């Protein structure tokens, strides 16, 4: 039986897939190549992450604002500084996305959640969480490059909700998502938005994303 297509998840606007431009596909082609050097992997992953962060920022509400230009004319624009944003990275792979977030959001606060997956059971276990004190008043960019089973993401979202963050204020940003993980999050947190650069085919019997990319954190941080 044919598996779900990317379009199957995009109808209600809760899953946002970056437009599959030649640039996005080309970046994926480089970093997914098993022969990609670590230097290239970091450089081109960072480019892709930057595009992802910018897409996430476009989903945060804005208000109208009029400014005067140097010509003395009025420009009708928007103000995006009225809604506070913070990042929360799922350690360790999520930390690879922090630099891009800092580059586009000046003085942004970033929290950490440490969740590790048991390689035998594929089940997540949380070890640590440190969040901004006013996280409940912010839009939260939850950062983790891979969305596989969804177990770690569900645990991380539950941590945010336990700290008072509304589901609708959570944007889960990842580079590659499996259909199984998307379904898992949508079923449990229908108001959370998932923003990704790729929706892959499926998980294999070991719960790895196919075609996937391998262990993103090991490749990025050089611990393969």
Q: Which positions are catalytic?
A: 117, 121, 215, 218
Which candidate, 24, 196, 118, places its Cα nearest to that of 186? 196
Q: Give yes or no for a contact between 182 and 15, defined as CB atoms under 8 angstroms apart.
A: yes
- Hunting for tokens 């009225």 — which residue is that? 82
Residue-wise DSSP of 54-120: HHHHTTS--EEEEEE-TTS-EEEEEE-SSS-EEEEEEETGGGGGHHHHHHHSTT-EEEEEEEEE-TT
- Angle, CA of 159, 89 and 126, to the nearest 5°: 45
Cα separation, 203 vs 214, whole angstroms: 12
- Hunting for tokens 């960072």 — which residue is that? 46
Q: Give yes or no for a contact between 150 and 123, defined as CB atoms under 8 angstroms apart.
A: no
Which candidate, 86, 71, 46, places its Cα nearest to that of 170? 86
């Amino acid at each position: 039986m044919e598996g779900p297509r990317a379009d199957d998840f995009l109808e209600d606007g809760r899953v946002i897939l970056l437009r599959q431009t030649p640039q996005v596909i080309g970046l994926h082609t480089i970093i997914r190549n098993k022969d990609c050097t670590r230097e290239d992997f970091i450089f081109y992953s960072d480019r892709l992450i930057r595009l992802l962060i910018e897409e996430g920022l476009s989903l945060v509400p804005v208000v109208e604002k009029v400014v005067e230009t140097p010509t003395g004319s009025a420009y009708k624009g928007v103000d995006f500084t009225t809604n506070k944003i913070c990042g929360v990275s799922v350690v360790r792979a999520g930390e690879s996305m922090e630099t891009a977030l800092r580059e586009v959001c000046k003085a942004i606060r970033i929290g950490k959640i440490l969740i590790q997956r048991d390689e035998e059971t594929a089940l997540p276990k949380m070890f640590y969480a440190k969040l901004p004190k006013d996280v409940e008043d912010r839009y939260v960019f939850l950062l983790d490059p891979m969305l596989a089973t969804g177990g770690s993401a569900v645990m991380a979202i539950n941590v945010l909700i336990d700290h008072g963050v509304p589901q609708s204020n959570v944007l889960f940003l990842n580079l590659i998502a499996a259909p199984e993980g998307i379904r898992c999050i949508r079923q449990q947190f229908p108001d959370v938005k998932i923003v990704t650069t790729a929706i892959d085919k499926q998980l294999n019997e070991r719960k790895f994303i196919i075609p996937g990319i391998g262990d993103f954190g090991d490749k990025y941080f050089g611990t393969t």
